[in-house]
Amino acid sequence: MSRAIDAAAAHLGWPEVEVTRLGGGCIHPAARLSHGGEDAFLKWSDAADFQVEAAGLRALAERGGLRIPEVLGVGEGWLLLEFLDAVRPSPDDHVALGRGLAELHRRVDAPPGFELDGWIGSLPQDNGVRRTWGTFWAEARLRPRLEGARPHLSPAARDAVERAIERTPELLDGIDEMSLLHGDLWNGNHLFTADGPALIDPAVYRGHSEVDLAMMALFGGFRAQVVEAYDAVRPPEPGRRERRALYQLYPLLVHVELFGEGYATRTEAAARSVA
């Protein structure tokens, strides 16, 4: 902790800092650094490489649409960001979140993937570019996580996931409009500020916009107005409901790998609805 704080303070040019530890982080510890009326957000880990998260945050900020914390600095084992104060949202803020996400998801003229491999939680995430979206989802997302989750799944569940993976290129055939995705858009990775809704802790790559929507629906926490406002800007594509389980299968497998059998039943159900 002290090494990361010392490095971040030196980077900011702050000779002294007040440190307030922050809760809520699932993977890395975090703190608020304060000096002379200014604040910054610091997260750190001796085992983490934050370069890809910094690159993802910068890429999201360039796209616009929603508040993204500015990257103030990144070093060996630490990431320093603009500190965002959360406020209680108004109904208009939920609408702004949906509209802003739709703007963020406008078309990217590049293939699925990203320039750097990354992380989903504490697990490695293959962002290598693939020629088609269906191949990317099968090879870079579902297949690696099935291998990691395999010890926690029953033979029937493993077979169901295998069949879903085999069908994936066919099911996603023809989807060629890519967006820049947050990549891990559960309820804990967004907040509302006085300057509008913001996204934090991304796992960025280029992919089908429905991936973020499916993740939002998986564990809940987003009001109906968010998706309604999103759909008013980007009307649903045919088959979105049918693809939802296929896109939710990835984070479910992640949860099985990280947290064990408690997510196995839901994972098998999602796979069977696909296969």
Residues involved in catalysis: 184
Torsion from C-alpha of 68, 69, 75, 76, nearest 10 degrees: -70
Q: Provide the phi-psi class of 29: left if phi over 0, else alpha when psi is between -120 and 50, else beta.
A: beta
DSSP string, 80-146: EEE-----PPPHHHHHHHHHHHHHHTS-BSS-SB-SS-EEETTEEE-----SSHHHHIIIIIIHHHH
The Cα–Cα gap between 93 and 59 comes to 23
Q: Name, in order, each residue with C-beta under 8 angstroms of 100's C-beta and a sequence gap of 6 or more.
A: 65, 66, 196, 197
Q: How far is CA 172 from the centre of its chain?
A: 21
Q: Which two tokens stand for residue 182?
A: 């947050």
The Cα–Cα gap between 132 and 74 comes to 33
Sign of the alpha-carbon dihedral angle for 167, 171, 173, 179: negative
